[in-house]
Amino acid sequence: MTEAEQAREEVAAFQKRIGALREEIGRVIVGNREVIDGVLSCMLGSSHALLEGVPGLGKTMLVRTLAGVLGLEFSRIQFTPDLMPADIIGTVVLDEGAGGARSLEFRRGPIFANIVLADEVNRATPKTQSALLEAMQEHRVTVGRTTHVIEEPYFVLATQNPLEMEGTYPLPEAQLDRFFYKLEVPFPTRDELHAIIDRTTTSQHTEVKRVLTRDEILQMQALVRRVPVARHVQDYAIRVLQATHPGGEEAPELVKRFVRTGASPRGAQAMLLGAKVRALFDGRFAASIDDVKATALAALRHRVLLSFEGEAEGVASDRVINEILKKLPGSKE
Amino acid sequence: MASRDGIALLRRAARKAGRRQRAAAIFSQIALLLPLPLGYAVLVLTAVKALRLDAASQRFWWLLGVVPLLVLLVGVGRALFTRRPSWQGSIALDQFHGFHDRVTSALSFSQVPPAERTPLMEAAIEDGAALAGKLDPRRAVPIPLPRELVVAAGLLLGLGALSLFEVRHYRPLPPPPSFEPMVMSADDIELFRDVAKELQAKNDDPNALVAVHRFNQLVEDIAEHRLDRHEVFQRMGELERDLKDNLELDRDARDEGLKGLARELEKSGLSKPAADALDEKRLADAEKALRELAEKLRKKDGRPSAAELEKLRQALEKASRSNEERAKSIDQRRRELEEEKKSLLKKKGEKGDAGATPDLDKKLAENERKLERLDREKNRAERSQKQMSELDKQLAQAARDLMRDAGQSAQDLEQGARDINRMAKQEATEEQKQELLKKLQEMRELMRQQGKGGKDQMQRLQKFGQRARGQSGGGQGKPGEGQGEGQQGGKKDGPLRMGSGPGSVSIDVPVPQSVSGQGQGQPGDKPGGSDPGAGANYGTGHDPNVAGNATDLKGKTTDVTAAGADTGQGAASSQVIYGAAERGFVGRGYKQVFTDYQTVAERALSQDEIPSGYRFYVRRYFQLIRPRD
C-alpha cells in the first residue's frame, strides 16, 4: 500500500469516525449542527472554544454529551465571582499518612480533566480567568515549584451569557484570543424545539455510548495537522486577516470606519486549522478557500475589536467579517 | 503516470480558462472605454456639421481625438499585460464545477518537488487529476457581452446617422461672371476706322496689310461690343508684340542681307560706291550708284578694262550667292550641332541616371542654347534671302551677262537698282507699321483713360460726338445767354468749354481725367440775342393789308450795276471756329483751319516742345476736334 493510499484510508477513517460521532451526539443534541461541528473542529484542532448563547440552549448538555461519546474525563466548573484560582487548579494540602507521617500533597483541581466546561466564564474575576487561560495555553499548571502536565487531549469549552452583563468580568482581548473559535449558539427552530421538548419532558432518557478512544482522538488531531494547504488558500486566509485591519490594503470601508483593531495571526491559524478539519469532514485531502470562508466567522468574530463608533452604531463584528468575505474575491485580480 | 497526464490536462484547462478570463477583461475594458472616443467623435462631427468649422479647426479637433483613443488603448493594454496569479484560471474552474479547490490544490502540490510531498499531497494530486475529464473552461469562464457595449453600439449608430445627416447651409453664391463689353464712343470708333482705312490705302506689303486687317477687326469687334476690356487689351498686346517682332526681324534680316552684298561688292572697284552705300544703308545712294555703273557699262567710251569687268563679275556673282551661302552655312552648322546633341543624349542614355554627370548635362544645355541661336539666325537668313531674292537674281544675271553682253548686264544692274528702290519703299512700309504701332498705343492709352472716366465720361463723349457732327443734341445752351468761362477752376472732370463768340451755342469738349479743367476758353464778347424759341406757336389773326400797297409808278429809278471783288481770302480762322461751334466740325473751311492748327501742333510735338506726359492729351484734343465728314 502506498503512502497516498494509506493517507486516503486515514482520511476515510476520519470521516467515518466523525460521522459516528455526529450521529451519537445527534441522539442527544437537537440541531445545532454548526455548533457541534465547530466544537469538534476546536477539539480536533487541539484548541478551545468559547460558546456564547442565552441560558437554556443546551450548551452544557452539548459538552457533557461530547465527553460521554469520547469517553474522556470531564469536569464542569461554574464560574462565580468568588471562585479562586486554586478552586480550579487545585491546591496543596497537608496529608497525614497511616503512620502519622505528614506530607504536602497536591490535590488536582477540576482543570485537570480532558474536557473542561468553564460555565459562565465571564462571571469569575480576572485572576481566576487568567489561571484557566494559562492552563489552556500551556496545557500545564505550575503550583509552587512543581509543574503539573495536563493529560492530552485537553479541551476547554467556556460559555458566557451575552445578556446578563452586570457583575461580570468580560474577558480581555488577549484572553479572548486564546480561544480557537467563538461559537454563537442560535435559538432552536420550531422543529428543533418540538424535538427538544419531546426528549426532555418524558421519562425517556438517552444514554450515549462511547464512540472514540483517547488514542483515536489523538490520531485524528495529528491527521488534521498533516492536511496540506495550497499556497492560494493560505494566501486567501492571510488576505482576509489583513482586511480585518483598518490600515489593510484590501480593507473595506466598513472596516476602516468601525474597526479599532484587527485579528491577530492566531486568527489566520484558526481559520486554516478549521479549514483543514472541514476538509477532512468532507473527505478531502486539502483545505480550500471555501473552507476558509466557512471558518472565518467563528475564528475572527472575537478577534476583531470594534471602535467606539462601531459599538455606538451597533455594528456587529459578524457584519464586518461578512463584508470582508463579500468584498474579497477568491483570487486576487 | 495517469496522475501526471491528468495534471497536464488540468494545467492546459487552467491556462485556457486564464486566457478566457484575460479576453473577457479586455472585452470589458473595450466596452467600458469605447464610448469615450465614440462620444468625442459624435461631438466633433456635430460641431463640424452644425457650426461649419473651417479646415484648420476641424484638423485640430480631430487630432485632439487622439486623447480618448489613447485612454482606450491604455485601458486595453493594461487588461492585456497586467500580470495575474497563475492559479486564477484553475480557481475559476473549481468555483464553476464546485470542486472546492481540488484542481487548484492539485496543481499547486504538483509544483512541489516529489521528495517534499506528503502522502496527503500525493492523494490530493491524484484526486485533482481524476477531475481532469470533467473540466469545461468554456463554460467555466464565459465571455459575456458587457452591458456597456450597448452604450458604445448606440454611439456608433449615432455616429453613422450623424455622418449621413446633412445640415443644409444656405450660402449665397457669387453672381455669375457678367460680360461687360468694352465700350468706345461712336466718334472714336469712326476715328480708328478711318485710321485703319488710311493705313490700308498706304500699304501694299502683305505683312503690314495683315496687321492693319487685324487692327481693323479689333476696332470692329469693339464697335459690335464683342470684346470685354480684358480681351481688348489682350488683342492689342498681341498685335503690338507681333508688329514689333516683325519689324525687328525684317530690319535685322535686311541689314544682314545688305551687309553681305556690300562685303562682296566692295571687292570690285566698280561696285564699291554701291557697296559703301549699301553698307551704310543709304539705299537711294546705292540705287544711284548701280544706275551709274549700268550707265558706265553701256558707254562705249571709257569702258572698264576686262580685268575690272572680271573682278566685277566675280563680285556680282559672289554677292548674288552671299545670302544663299550664309543660309547653307547656318544649315551645316545646325546639322553638326544636331549630331552632337544625338551623341550626347546617347551617351547619357547608356550611362543611365547614375552616369549623368554635371559635365554632360552642361554640354547638353550649351548645345541646346546654340541650336536656339542658330534657329533665330536661320529665320533671319531666310527672311533676308526672301527679301533679297530679286536683287540676288538680278546680280547673278548681271554677272552672267557681263562678259557676253555689257548692255544686257547694264540692264540687269538697272533692274537691281529698281529692286533696291523697292527695298527702300519697304522701309516706308515699316514706317506705316510704326504708325500703326503708334495708333495702337494711342488707342490703348485712350481706353485706359476711358476706363477711369466711367459712364459719365462716355455719355459726354457720345454727346460731344453728335455735336461735333453738327447734329443737335441735348445740352444746347439758350441763345443769348452768353458763354465763356475761361478756366474750369480746378473741377477735376470738368469739360473744356469752347467759347463761341455770340454766345448762342456751347460745346463741351470732354478731356481725360488727369487734366483738371485747364482748357482755355474764349469768353463771350457779345450780349446774347433774343430767344428765337420764344415765338414757337402759330400767330393768331391776319394782316389786313395782305396784298400790300399799290405800286407807285411815279418814282424815278436809276439802274446801277455793282460787282464784288473776289479776294479769295474767305472767312477768318476765328470766324470759322465760331461757325464750327454752332454747326459742328464740318465743312471745308473748318478742315482747312484744323489742318493748319494740327500742323503747328504736330510740329510742336515733334520738336519736343510739349512735355511727354501731355502729348497724349494734345493728340487726343486734336482727335476730338478733327473735321467730320
The shortest CB-CB distance from B120 to any of A2, A285, A291 is to A285
CATH of A1-226, one of 3.40.50.300, 3.40.50.720, 1.10.10.10, 3.40.50.360: 3.40.50.300
AA identity, residue B134: K
Give the SS3 label for residue A79.
coil
A105 vs A93: CA distance, rounded Å: 5
| CB spacing of A286 vs B122 below 8 angstroms | no
| CB spacing of B118 vs A226 below 8 angstroms | yes
Question: Between residues 14 and 33 of chain B, which touch chain A (CB distance below 8 Å)?
Answer: none
User: Could you tell me which chain B residue has the CA closest to the CA of A10?
Assistant: B120
% of chain B residues with pLDDT over 70: 81
The reported pLDDT for the residue numbered A237 is 93
| CB spacing of A232 vs B91 below 8 angstroms | yes
Q: Does A7 touch chain B if contact means CB atoms closer than 8 Å? A: yes
B116 vs A3: CA distance, rounded Å: 13
| CB spacing of A330 vs B126 below 8 angstroms | no
The reported pLDDT for the residue numbered A322 is 92
Looking at CA atoms only, how far is residue B79 from chain A in angstroms? 11
Which residues of chain B have a CB within 8 Å of the CB of A8? 123
Kindly tell me if the per-residue pLDDT of B523 is higher than 70: no
The reported pLDDT for the residue numbered A224 is 93
B387 pLDDT tier (thresholds 50, 70, 90)? low
A77: left (phi over 0), alpha (psi -120 to 50) or beta: beta
| CB spacing of A228 vs B121 below 8 angstroms | yes
User: Could you tell me which chain A residue has the CA closest to the CA of B119?
Assistant: A4
B519 pLDDT tier (thresholds 50, 70, 90)? very low
| CB spacing of B122 vs A3 below 8 angstroms | yes
Q: Are B207 and B246 in contact (CB under 8 A)?
A: yes
Q: Does A238 touch chain B if contact means CB atoms closer than 8 Å? A: no
CA A238 to the chain's CA centroid: 21
Mean pLDDT of B193-212: 80
B328 pLDDT tier (thresholds 50, 70, 90)? confident
Which residues of chain B have a CB within 8 Å of the CB of A331? 85, 87-88, 91-92
The reported pLDDT for the residue numbered B183 is 81
Report pLDDT digits (tens) over B535-552.
556 767 677 777 777 776
Specify the pTM.
Answer: 0.52
Kindly tell me if the per-residue pLDDT of B527 is higher than 70: no
Q: Does A286 touch chain B if contact means CB atoms closer than 8 Å? A: yes
Q: Are A143 and A57 in contact (CB under 8 A)?
A: no
Which residues of chain A have a CB within 8 Å of the CB of B94? 288
The reported pLDDT for the residue numbered A229 is 92
- Of A74, A158, A149, the C-alpha closest to A106 is A149
Mean pLDDT of B319-345: 80
Report pLDDT digits (tens) over B83-101.
877 788 888 888 888 888 8
Task: Please state the domain extents for chain B.
Answer: 2-164, 206-438
Ordered mean pLDDT values, 10 residues apiece, chain A (333 residues)? 83 91 86 87 90 82 86 88 89 83 86 90 87 86 86 89 75 85 87 81 79 89 92 92 90 90 92 94 91 92 89 87 86 48
Is the CATH code 1.20.1540.10 the one for domain A228-333? no
Beta pairing partners, A50: A158, A182
Q: Does B95 touch chain A if contact means CB atoms closer than 8 Å? A: yes
The reported pLDDT for the residue numbered B429 is 65
| CB spacing of B88 vs A331 below 8 angstroms | yes
The reported pLDDT for the residue numbered B566 is 63
Q: How many CA atoms lie within 13 A of B130 on its CB side?
A: 8
B505 pLDDT tier (thresholds 50, 70, 90)? very low
| CB spacing of A226 vs B109 below 8 angstroms | no
Looking at CA atoms only, how far is residue B67 from chain A in angstroms? 27
Report pLDDT digits (tens) over B67-83.
989 999 999 998 888 88
Which of A130-134, A213-217, B50-54, B522-526 has the least mean pLDDT? B522-526
- Of B241, B182, B245, B191, the C-alpha closest to B199 is B191
The reported pLDDT for the residue numbered B7 is 84
The reported pLDDT for the residue numbered B70 is 92
Task: Please state the domain extents for chain A.
Answer: 1-226, 228-333
The reported pLDDT for the residue numbered B127 is 86
Which residues of chain A have a CB within 8 Å of the CB of B123? 4-5, 7-8, 11, 285
Q: Mean pLDDT: which of A51-55, A278-282, B307-311, B398-402 is highest? A: A278-282
Report pLDDT digits (tens) over B594-612.
888 988 888 888 887 788 7
The reported pLDDT for the residue numbered A269 is 93
| CB spacing of B123 vs A290 below 8 angstroms | no
Q: Are B512 and B535 in contact (CB under 8 A)?
A: no
Which residues of chain B have a CB within 8 Å of the CB of A289? 91, 101
